[in-house]
Structure formats: structure tokens, C-alpha cells
Amino acid sequence: MCGAEAASIVTGVKAIIYTSVGASDVLELAERPTPAPGPGEVRVRVAISGVNATDWKCRQFGHVQGRLLYPMVIPHHDGSGVIDAVGEGVDRERLGRRVWLWDAAWRRPGGTAAEYVVVPQRQAVELPPDVSYETGAGIGLPAVAAHSCLLAMGGAPTRLGPGALAGRRVLVVGGTGTLGHAAIQLAAWSGAEVIATASHPEQAGRARAAGARQTVDYRADTAAVDVRAAAPDGVDLIVQVAPSAYAEVDQEVLAPAGTVAAYATEGRGRVTLPIAVLMGRNVRYQFVLGATLPAAAKDIAVADVAAAVATGALTVGADSGLPVLRFPLARTADAHDAVQAGSAGKVLVDVATL
């Protein structure tokens, strides 16, 4: 194989592709030439592909100004599988290693919704033998973005890990979503006191399973009072899924020098802020998009996430508060629709049995 050391030879791969923007019906199952890893790259036989909101948004609205960056796109950033070929400059010891993938489709036309994917070797991270492919495919982009949110607060440490956030109070709004779930787990692993939002008992149970000590209904008229009851001095950080809808409540529950880390756009939502009040309290807002984080920040996040995964602190599944909804590769369109509809859990696409 040109420029590569391979453990196996394959002649063609099944993949989900799209060539134009639009609804999920633009996705089609096709056979594509087998990708070969170039210098510094690895090829991974994909077991499971993870679906995120970014995936359906890029498909429906395009990459830049309504356009695709490539004539043909294989979607999905996240996944898990086994390295079966390596390019020049990559240690052959990596052949056969179980890995989880992140940013596979970032500035590349080929993502993980295929039997094989090629990525730079740093984007294929060792998956411990006792960690499931489901967890491997379910972390990726949400966990990297959650990591950045948690380090956004004033005086934050440079890394996450046991004790790193001891004494900090973190409120996670949308804690039963994929990023919110990762934020709860990473914050709890790092020693923070975590409060999460839940609008009904089932959500509250899921948030507590992830590691939240207390839950509140952020849509209730008593939301600010309830958060203050749990954190009388206010919270140091709010990991916020709806910065426009909850701006007033956020401002009521933030401690002095507190931070709102917002990771969702609410469509074309706008946040109106009382500048004088927030300036006097030294409040900050940090907007986070995982895909566009600087490379150095991504590398630190991936290292910390990998450490959390290795210790069992970061996982997916009903027991950890994030149920899994699975689809076969041929039904990737249904998987996209499920994420777009706000599915309660992590949406995964089964690609191959490994």
C-alpha cells in the first residue's frame, strides 16, 4: 500500500456521503475507494460512529456561507475502532490498537460514517481494553468542548484532574445533553461541587448518575432562589446551553468574578447584558465551539479526557446518565434526525463488529 504499513488489504468501503446541503435525505449509502494513510496518519477500521449536533448542522446549512468545502462529504467527527494501517513516520506498534477518534471530519472530507477512516495519528487516541467502543465513540467533540468550558472560569487551573476544581461551584444547564453530561462528569472528577438542571424526575436522576450533587428546574419561577439555596454564595461557573433564554437567571446566580461558558447558539439567539452591573461584579462570558478551539487547547483537552476515560470517570450509557440510541449505518439519516430532534441520550451509528 502506497506509503503505508498495513495489517490487511481491503478493496472498497461502505460509507455515508452527501454532495449537497439539505435535510437528512441528502445522505446516501455508497461504496468508496479504500482510503490509504499518508505520512503521519493512521487508518482506522471504524466500529462505531458518534453523531453530534455539528454533524447535522454542517449537512443542512453547509460549512461556510451555505456551501460545502468539498464536492463530497463523509460526515461525523467522533468514533471508535481499531488501527489497521499506518503511514510513513508512524510507529508500527500502533497497528491493531483500539482507539477513539476526534475531529475526524474537521477540515477533511472524510469522517467516521464509513467502514474505514484516515486521520492524523494524534486524533486516534488509545482506548483502554476495559472501555467500550460505545464510550469511545461517545466522548470526542462533546468532551473536548466541555473541557474548554470548565477551564473558562477566572483563576481556573490549566488542566483538569482529581482536585483541580476543588472548592469550585459549577452549574451545568442542559446536563442531560451530551456536552452537559461530559461537563458534569469532568467537573465531578476534578472535585467541583456540581449542580445541574432538570425539568422532571427522570432528568434529575440522569444528572445525579453523571455526578451532580443537586438538581434544579431552571425553567421554574423559583430557579434563581433554588440555585442560591444550593450555592448561597453563587456559582463560579455556568456551563450554559441557552445563554439567551437564561441570561437573567444566570446573572442572579453567578458569584462575583463568575463566568458563563456558552456552547450553543439557540439558532440566531442574542444575549443582552447589563454592562455596568456585570462590570462591577467582574463577570465574564466565554463562548465555546469545540471544533474551532486552538490546536494546543484541543491537545490538552484530549489528554485530560483520555485520563478521565482511563479511570472510568468519563463514560456513556444508562448507568452514567446518558442512554445510548443506536442505528445501523444504512439508517444514518434517522440518526441525524434523532439528534436534531433533541434525542435524550447519545446517538451512535454501528458501522462494524470488532
pLDDT digits (tens, 9 = 90+) for 26-57: 999 999 999 999 999 999 999 999 999 999 99
The helix/strand/coil state of 316 is coil
* Residue 11, pLDDT score: 59
The average pLDDT across 134-149 equals 97
> Which of 9 and 85 is assigned the larger pLDDT?
85
User: The domain containing residue 331 runs over which residues?
Assistant: 4-139+319-350
- Whether the per-residue pLDDT at 1 is higher than 50: the answer is no
Kindly state whether residue 28 falls inside one of the protein's structural domains.
yes
Query: Which one, of 326, 48, 324, lies nearest residue 206 by Cα?
Result: 324
Residues 134 and 184 in one domain: no
Residues 169 and 266 in one domain: yes
Distances (CA, A) of 114 to 25, 65, 77, 354: 17, 26, 11, 14
Residues 185 and 233 in one domain: yes
Kindly state whether residue 301 falls inside one of the protein's structural domains.
no
In this structure, what CATH number is given to the domain that contains residue 267? 3.90.180.10
Kindly state whether residue 309 falls inside one of the protein's structural domains.
no
- Whether the per-residue pLDDT at 154 is higher than 90: the answer is no
The helix/strand/coil state of 215 is strand
Residues 114 and 129 in one domain: yes
Residues 15 and 95 in one domain: yes
Kindly state whether residue 300 falls inside one of the protein's structural domains.
no
Residues 164 and 286 in one domain: yes
The average pLDDT across 102-127 equals 97
* Residue 7, pLDDT score: 38
Q: How many domains does the chain have?
A: 2
* Residue 353, pLDDT score: 84
**Positions of E strands within 173-331:** 193-197, 214-216, 235-240, 254-262, 284-287, 324-328
Percent of the chain with pLDDT over 90: 89
Where residue 12 falls among pLDDT bands split at 50, 70, 90?
A: confident
- Whether the per-residue pLDDT at 174 is higher than 60: the answer is yes
- Whether the per-residue pLDDT at 5 is higher than 70: the answer is no
- Whether the per-residue pLDDT at 3 is higher than 60: the answer is no
| Residue appearing with cell numbers 483520555 | 306
Residues 244 and 326 in one domain: no
Kindly state whether residue 310 falls inside one of the protein's structural domains.
no
Strands 41-50 vs 346-350: parallel, antiparallel or unpaired: antiparallel
Cell numbers standing for residue 1: 500500500
Residues 133 and 186 in one domain: no
Report d(CA 117, CA 81) in Å as an integer: 10
Residues 189 and 248 in one domain: yes
Residues 174 and 135 in one domain: no
Residues 155 and 121 in one domain: no
